Structure 1
Amino acid sequence: MPRPRSLTHAQLASAALAVIDRDGLAGLSMRAVAKELGMSTMALYRYVDDREELEQLVVELVHSTVDTRAPDPDAPWRERVETMVRRLRDAMSAHPAVVPLTLAHRHRTPSGLRWSETVLTVLTEAGIDGERRVVALRGLLSYVIGAIQLEHLGPLSGAGTRAITELPPSAYPLMTETARYAGNVGADREFFEGLAMVLRGMETAREA
């Protein structure tokens, strides 16, 4: 196959993201991306070193769609953090199969770093600093990444929840009861009520 005259990082990332969206993260390979671009696998190595570099480009592409500008400075700090989390969730939920890659590459992507810098600014202005700020940022990231994976990829969603309701109540009384309630809790409600619990915990730590 003829090699294109030139490829940008954005084009490479878009091709890799198309593969992931279609075939899942397991389908991502140098060969698959090369085929998506209409080129040979060896030709692709002229642009990137390996799959890890492709992954990093994909994470940056997804994160680049997040608005990292500071929210309304007159809004309460919890509301500003929620705004930043909402923006990140929207971008990541559009490509949920990419979410696991953020764990490995978020600290290497400029857009991800800008998001974290904005959140840290809000936390600092709220009086959360030092080691508490470390825990707060990592806690937020852990919640967002985990919640999105649970919503889109986790066994507790959809058929998984229904399967739990069919377990013997004598062996799993609380699991079966909770699964029945889960059918009444939508994804947005679950996410943002969970986030509110996390932020209330930060509020308590801030005031301690």
Structure 2
Amino acid sequence: MVKAADRAKNPARSSVWLEKRAARGGGGPAGLDRDRIVAASIRMLDEEGLSKLSMRKLATELGVTAMSLYWYVDTKDDILEYAMDSVYGEIDLAAVDAAADWRDRIRLLALDYRRMLVRHAWMSPSAGQYLNIGPNAIAVGQKIHDTVAETGLSLDRRPSAMSAVFQFVYGYGTIESQFGRRAAEAGMSQDEFYVDSVNAFRDDPDLTEQVEGLKEILDERTSHDSLSVVWDRDFGYALDVLIAGIEVMVAREAEAPDGTRK
């Protein structure tokens, strides 16, 4: 059983997926199982965020006592690890397999990863706190590795290429999801929130000089009817830039004499 103190003492070896959990005696509460607990936790996280999740509130949502949850999980960390792995399962690996080549596979993986982060704003701040070694997370990581291997990059260059693409996606999806969360908390649509915040920035007399150099790009970005159009356009183009960069680096490796690199 992984307790909170154990996690703090040895975080590199603390995960619900490494835990050898002792079987509970007797039977668990009727109608309750781990899948139902995880589904309810994801709903709560999506609606209320990380700070509002607790064993007590989760039990109330499920209509059971808090002690009932301990038949299936030992800590809130366990629940978060299960929830994180569950949403990794939203990435459509079958569609990736059906794609024409590694470029399309990278695009599909990146787009699904971004969408997952945006749907679940709690996911990106959680990801770095846990090992992410559940079955869905490992399957996604394996697919990313296999796809980058198809590019032709040498083994020692693949981690850098994976980082370039998927750390970009993580950052982009995090900013997009947190922007959406802030707009929702303000009771505004993303379009309203964006235009209002840009205007506040532009109308501040103390920022006049700094804003002048950004006028052209700000005008372009606020000229669209929907901020989602801008999110999608910028993401797609940035991803194309990264894929083109991988192609260039593959070509450089192929042209370098005697395995040297330029």
Q: TM-score range by the shorter chain?
A: 0.7 to 0.9
Q: Equivalences for 1:1-208 in 2 at 5 Å?
A: 4-5=29-30, 7-69=32-94, 70-72=96-98, 75-105=100-130, 107-154=132-179, 158=194, 159-167=196-204, 168-175=207-214, 177-183=216-222, 184=224, 186-208=230-252
Q: CA deviation at 1:137?
A: 1.6
C-alpha change, 1:194 and 1:15, in structure 2 (3 Å) is same
Taking a change above 3 Å as real, the CA distance of residues 65 and 118 of structure 1, as seen in their structure-2 partners, is: same
Secondary structure of the 2:61 match is helix
> What RMSD, in angstroms, separates the aligned Cα atoms of the two structures?
2.6
1:58–1:30 distance in 2 versus 1, CA, 3 Å? same
- In structure 2, the CA distance between the partners of 1:77 and 1:40, relative to structure 1 (3 Å rule), is same
Please say if residues 20 and 97 of structure 1, whose CA atoms lie closer than 8 Å, have aligned partners that are also in contact. Answer: yes
Q: 1:57 to 1:166 in 2, by over 3 A?
A: farther
- Deviations 1:85-106 (Å, cap 9, x if unpaired)? 2222333332233332233346
Deviations 1:29-88 (A, max 9, x none): 222212211122233233212111111111111111221234346x24222210122222
Cα separation, partners in 2 of 1:129 and 1:166, compared to 1, 3 Å: farther
Counting aligned pairs with the same residue, the percent is: 23
Letter in 2 for 1:32: K
For the pair shown, the structure with the greater C-alpha radius of gyration is 2
Counterparts in 2 of 1:43 and 1:112: CA distance versus 1, 3 Å: same
Letter aligned with residue 186 of structure 1: V
Q: For residue 59 of structure 1, what is the amino acid of its counterpart?
A: M
Aligned residues between the structures:
205
Supply the distance in 2 between the matched residues of 1:61 and 1:49 (Cα, whole angstroms): 18
Give 3-state SS (helix, strand or coil) of 1:104's partner: coil
TM-score by length of 1: 0.83
CA-CA distance at 1:163 after TM superposition: 3.5
TM-score (normalizing by structure 2) = 0.68
Call closer, same or farther: CA 1:139–1:163 in 2, change over 3 Å: farther
